[in-house]
Amino acid sequence: MIRKAIILVSTVLISINCTIAQTPTKWRGASGNGVYSETGLLKKWPANGPEIVWHYDDLGQGHSSPAFANGLIYVSGMEGTTGNIYALTPDGKLKWKKPYGTEFSESYPGARSTPVISGDLLYMYSGFGILTCMDANNGNVKWKKDVLREFNGQNIQWGVTESVVVDGGLVYVTPGGKKNNVVALNRNNGDLVWSSPGKGETSAYCTPLLINLTSRKLLVTMTADHIIGLDAAT
């Protein structure tokens, strides 16, 4: 799938200038549930659709969503077999493009995961299960971890599509398997903080969701055969 990044003047669903709480710095927005609190949206679209303000045509192949942070629009794409992160300015100019590694080019080829931005760090999880942490200001790689290899996970039929979850000092990701079904990594260096065992099944095409309870924070996700809830701290 060849993609274009298009901004529509009449449907400012997510504004670059909106508050941090409302800005989608990850897939499905700040809360991970696809609900946004923007106001002033059109009640009815023009017959011919909203006016196109600008478009960027060189994103390669991919299936991800854009994320907004630091006054930039971040999106992933694949050129050839190389996955790239593209950082665009609000007026559609390419500020930088940096590769993060080989992407999934078999069935439904293209970048899958949406980049996740937390402060000055950007996290991208490839279709082959390799997690890359980059400087969100310039795309320079801070650290990289082959999650599936290191934690004895197995890739799934159409490639990993999970967008990792970043909260506090941790990055949550789902290798799948019996010993390291879900792991929490140090967001600054990728070191393992905790690991949760599973039943032995693979991961699924799912991004975890954090739920704030009165007593604790719960990490909820899905594997091939189960929906699971874990104490996010341990």
**CATH for 83:** 2.40.128.630
- Mean pLDDT in consecutive groups of 10 residues from the start of the chain, 234 residues: 50 42 60 75 87 91 91 95 97 96 91 94 97 98 98 93 94 96 97 96 92 92 93 92
Identify the pLDDT of residue 41.
82
Q: How much helix, strand and coil, in percent to the nearest 5, is found in the chain?
A: 5, 40, 55
Task: Determine, yes or no, domain membership for 46.
Answer: no
Identify the pLDDT of residue 36.
74
Identify the pLDDT of residue 40.
83
Identify the pLDDT of residue 39.
81
What does the alpha-carbon distance between residue 100 and residue 78 come to, in Å, rounded to a whole number? 10
Task: Determine, yes or no, domain membership for 28.
Answer: yes
Q: Report which secondary-structure segment, H or E, holds 130.
A: strand 130-135
Task: Determine, yes or no, domain membership for 43.
Answer: no
Output the six-digit token pair for 131. 């997690």
Identify the pLDDT of residue 14.
41
Kindly report the pTM of this predicted structure. Answer: 0.87
Task: Determine, yes or no, domain membership for 127.
Answer: yes
Distance of CA 117 to the CA centre of its chain: 8
Q: Show the domain range for 160.
A: 5-37+51-231
Identify the pLDDT of residue 26.
72
Q: What total number of domains does the chain contain?
A: 1
Identify the pLDDT of residue 1.
54
For residue 151, give the nearest of 124, 186, 191 by alpha carbon.
Answer: 191
